């Protein structure tokens, strides 16, 4: 029978399956690019550049996220109860208490960031604090702590590295192929070359979709882990409903930090439900709520 424990295990397996698909895609692109351009060193240069840029982004992820959202450190006196709630849940989760920040924004939302558990931050909006009941707020905080405990920043950074690498390789390949960098192409199978070019054009889109799918699986995992932490999945389910019902976007919403938030910071208004779903950093709230409600009483 399904439980929150099996749901957590299933989401971990699906995440690593997606990462495996990522690696297969990279190997295929690298092989074809080296064959077509007759210059395998291009692959190594692209790998080094992609790793450097994305490791730097990972190292400063908390500072970038806080600056981009306008978060301010939460005053211990003004937000005493919030500090106490975060500390209690962190102790329960076996984590150091993250630094706590507040974003002055009426849209209810929250995020966690940081390259490791010792340097993590949790930020919540004033709209979240004003609209949620205590049990709902605990569910959201537990969800964010679960991202920290599950090392989701590391996983998502790896996904960004892989997606960035594929985009760079595809761009280099297309530029060089247009300017005659294919070596002795006349002696090679033209059908294979055409299929390879089409594949490399499509590859960045596929990589982006895999990256988004990884992000969505981590949200399901954090939901399950957060429910295990509070022992009350209904609290988080109710919070997600309230957050999703808010239509307006956050004042400083941007695509660079969208995947960090518990819910889409661009608001509930989405055109084209199917397209919005596959290109979204978050799974539909209805699916997340159904997963939590369906596991009610099994903790």
- Residues with catalytic roles: 144
Q: Count Cα atoms within 13 angstroms, Cβ side, for 186.
A: 1
Cβ(239)–Cβ(132) below 8 Å? yes
**Which position has the token pair 């499509």?**
202
Strand partners, 164: none
Please name the residue ranges forming H helices in the chain: 4-37, 41-59, 61-69, 80-93, 126-131, 134-149, 152-178, 190-230, 233-245, 273-278, 285-294
Q: Count Cα atoms within 13 angstroms, Cβ side, for 182.
A: 19
Distance of CA 185 to the CA centre of its chain: 40
Burial call 35-66: b when 16+ CB within 10 Å, e when fewer: ebbeeeebbeebbeebeeebeeebeebbebbb
Rounded to 5°, angle at Cα 61 from 59 and 63 = 105
């Amino acid at each position: 029978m399904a439980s929150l424990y099996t749901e957590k295990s299933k989401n971990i397996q699906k995440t690593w399956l997606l990462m495996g698909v990522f690696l297969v895609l990279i190997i295929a692109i690298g092989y074809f690019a080296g064959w077509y351009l007759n210059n395998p060193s291009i692959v190594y240069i692209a790998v080094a550049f992609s790793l450097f840029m994305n490791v730097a982004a990972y190292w400063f992820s908390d500072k970038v996220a806080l600056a981009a959202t306008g978060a301010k450190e939460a005053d211990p006196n003004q937000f005493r109860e919030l500090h106490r709630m975060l500390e209690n849940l962190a102790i329960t989760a076996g984590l150091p208490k993250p630094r706590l920040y507040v974003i002055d924004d009426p849209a209810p939302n929250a995020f966690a960031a940081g390259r490791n558990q010792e340097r993590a931050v949790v930020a919540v909006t004033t709209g979240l604090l004003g609209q949620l009941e205590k049990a709902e707020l605990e569910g959201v905080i537990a969800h964010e702590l679960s991202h920290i405990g599950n090392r989701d920043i590391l996983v998502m950074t790896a996904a960004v590295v892989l997606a960035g690498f594929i985009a760079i390789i595809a761009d280099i390949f297309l530029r060089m192929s247009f300017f005659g960098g294919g070596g002795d192409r006349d002696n090679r199978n033209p059908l294979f070359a055409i299929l390879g070019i089409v594949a490399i054009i499509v590859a960045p889109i596929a990589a982006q979709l895999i990256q988004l799918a990884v992000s969505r699986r981590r949200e399901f995992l954090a939901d399950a882990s957060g429910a295990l932490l509070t022992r009350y999945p209904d609290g988080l389910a109710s919070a997600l409903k309230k957050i999703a019902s808010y239509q307006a976007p956050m004042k400083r919403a941007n695509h660079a930090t969208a995947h960090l938030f518990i819910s889409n910071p661009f608001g509930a208004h989405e055109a084209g439900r199917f397209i919005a779903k596959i290109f979204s950093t978050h799974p539909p709230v209805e699916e997340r709520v159904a997963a939590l409600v369906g596991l009610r009483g099994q903790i």
